[in-house]
């Protein structure tokens, strides 16, 4: 994809056929409607169902629940292709590769039968609720509680910045089940809360700087009773499950960000070849050439690193430190690329009809979500035993 000539050993012929089919589908079913979705602040359910009907939702899910048993290479292709259309389609990647894997790995047979088939068809849209108004990257400090009451748990608290929050039919909610646990992270559990459960309400869609097609909102839990069968995994093990799954989440952000950087550069090269100033193409100015050469080099280095991590992740290796490196470096890179490419567009880069303006807004949050880049550096420093 994009400008990279790196040979991706993890991609085979079936992945490239999948890419071609998905790209064609998105050009027909997504591209013409992007402006409309940005105005609505969400991708409509009808589109989710179309994506599901073509087999592009959660292809990794076991065939027993309607999936294709696809390997992680398909997740990479999906992520790159959805990002190529719009970073604002991030909610689909979140559903496919971040939320649903919790149910696949931790769910009981009954839970899998209950939630996975709908996740594959697009009938069931998912979200994960970690962040709270007063708690971001410090997950151990969450205040939302789930207190045992007979054969149920009663959830109280608030979550914010929840991607897919407005549309979600099921939400994995991170709760404190043992308020007295020391250290605090030992008292955290995960629950699946279904839309329509009494006391569970969704706040208005939040007004964001970018990613306008992605619905994001607050979720409020006021004495929400959920049956014990909605506990995901074991009680008080939630923090460990989150840590295990954050490797893939942060790798997905790196994959999306390097794909965005490649696409932005691709579009900018095309623009500077067409645009003229002082009687010649902007691409012929040495300053432009040096800027583009620098970006091309850094993107190639980033792509090589990300592809190595994809291969190692598929081999089930523990690469938390390396993924933390990729997450901060690649997301800083895509923001730098967006800024420099916007500058090369001149005044037109500031106009909404040019793709670069939307990209500039949309990639800004990549260094914040899935753990801020400062947290990534903290993880790396801890591994260095300083």
Segments in the chain below pLDDT 70: 1-7
Task: Return the CATH fold of 128-236.
Answer: Butyryl-CoA Dehydrogenase, subunit A; domain 2 (2.40.110)
Tell me which of 81, 249, 262, 322 is the catalytic residue: 249
The number of beta carbons lying within 10 Å of the beta carbon of residue 241 is: 20
Cα separation, 115 vs 92, in Å, equals 16
Asked if 85 and 355 touch (Cβ cutoff 8 Å), the reply is no
Let me know if 298 is a catalytic residue: no
Q: Which residue, 345, 347, 361, 349, is CA-closest to 86?
A: 361
Q: What CATH number has the domain spanning 13-124?
A: 1.10.540.10
Q: Give the pLDDT confidence of 42-97 residue by residue, as tens digits.
A: 999 999 999 999 999 999 999 999 999 999 999 999 999 999 999 999 999 999 99
Q: Tell me, what DSSP letter sits at residue 99?
A: I
DSSP structure class, residue 132: B
CA distance 265 to 292: 8
Give the pair of three-digit tokens for residue 215. 């619905």
CB-based burial of residue 28 (10 Å sphere; 0-12 exposed, 13-18 middle, 19+ buried)?
A: exposed
- Predicted local confidence at residue 2, as pLDDT: 45
Output the pLDDT for position 137.
78
Q: Measure the CA–CA gap between 23 and 20, rounded to whole angstroms.
A: 5
| Entry field: residues in the chain | 386
Note the pTM of the prediction, 2 decimals. 0.95
Q: Are strands 216-227 and 200-205 parallel, antiparallel or unpaired?
A: antiparallel
CA–chain centroid gap for 88, Å, is 10
Joined tokens for residue 17: 């056929």
Nearest to 31 by CA among 85, 88, 93, 97: 85
What is the tens place of the pLDDT at every residue in 280-330? Answer: 999 999 999 999 999 999 999 999 999 999 999 999 999 999 999 999 999
Give the C-alpha separation, 228 to 191, whole Å: 9
* Domain boundaries, given as residue ranges, for the chain: 13-124, 128-236, 240-383
CATH architecture of the domain covering 240-383: Up-down Bundle (1.20)
What DSSP character marks residue 86? -
Distance CA 20, CA 81 (A): 9
- Alpha carbon distance 41, 212 (integer Å): 5
Q: How many CB atoms lie within 10 A of CB 88?
A: 24
Q: Are 233 and 190 in contact (CB under 8 A)?
A: yes
Radius of gyration of the chain (CA): 21
According to DSSP, residue 283 is labeled G
Task: Look up residue 181 and give its two tokens.
Answer: 């646990």
């Amino acid at each position: 994809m994009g400008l990279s000539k790196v040979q991706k050993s993890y991609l085979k012929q079936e992945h490239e056929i999948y890419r071609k089919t998905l790209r064609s589908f998105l050009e027909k079913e997504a591209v013409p409607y992007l402006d409309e979705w940005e105005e609505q602040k969400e991708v409509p359910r009808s589109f989710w169902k179309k994506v599901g009907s073509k087999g592009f939702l959660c292809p990794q899910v076991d065939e027993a629940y309607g999936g294709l048993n696809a390997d992680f290479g398909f997740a990479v292709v999906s992520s790159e292709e959805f990002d190529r259309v719009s970073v604002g389609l991030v909610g689909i990647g979140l559903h496919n590769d971040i939320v649903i894997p919790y149910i696949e790995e931790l769910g009981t047979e009954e839970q899998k039968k209950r939630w996975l088939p709908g996740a594959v068809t697009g009938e069931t849209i998912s979200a994960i609720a970690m962040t709270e108004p007063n708690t971001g990257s410090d997950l151990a400090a969450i205040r939302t509680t789930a207190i045992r009451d007979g054969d149920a748990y009663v959830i109280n608290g608030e979550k914010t910045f929840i991607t897919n929050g407005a549309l979600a039919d099921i939400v994995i909610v991170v709760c404190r089940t043992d308020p007295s646990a020391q250290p605090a992270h030992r008292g955290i559990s995960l629950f699946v809360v279904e839309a329509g459960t009494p006391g569970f309400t969704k706040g208005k869609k939040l007004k964001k700087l970018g990613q306008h097609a992605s619905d994001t909102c607050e979720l409020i839990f006021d004495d929400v009773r959920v049956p014990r069968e909605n506990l995901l995994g074991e009680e008080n093990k939630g923090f460990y499950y989150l840590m295990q799954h954050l490797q893939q989440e942060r790798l997905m952000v790196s994959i999306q960000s390097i794909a965005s950087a490649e696409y932005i550069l691709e579009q900018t090269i095309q623009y500077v070849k067409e645009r003229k100033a002082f009687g010649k193409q902007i691409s012929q100015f040495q300053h432009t050439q040096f800027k583009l050469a620098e970006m091309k080099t850094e993107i190639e280095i980033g792509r090589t690193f990300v592809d190595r991590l994809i291969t190692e992740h598929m081999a089930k290796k523990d690469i938390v430190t390396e993924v933390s490196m990729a997450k901060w470096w690649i997301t800083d890179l895509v923001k730098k690329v967006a800024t420099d490419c916007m500058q090369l567009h001149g005044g037109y880069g500031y106009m909404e009809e040019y793709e670069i303006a939307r990209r500039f807004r949309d990639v800004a949050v990549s260094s914040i979500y899935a753990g801020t880049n400062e947290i990534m550096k903290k993880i790396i420093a801890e591994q260095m035993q300083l």
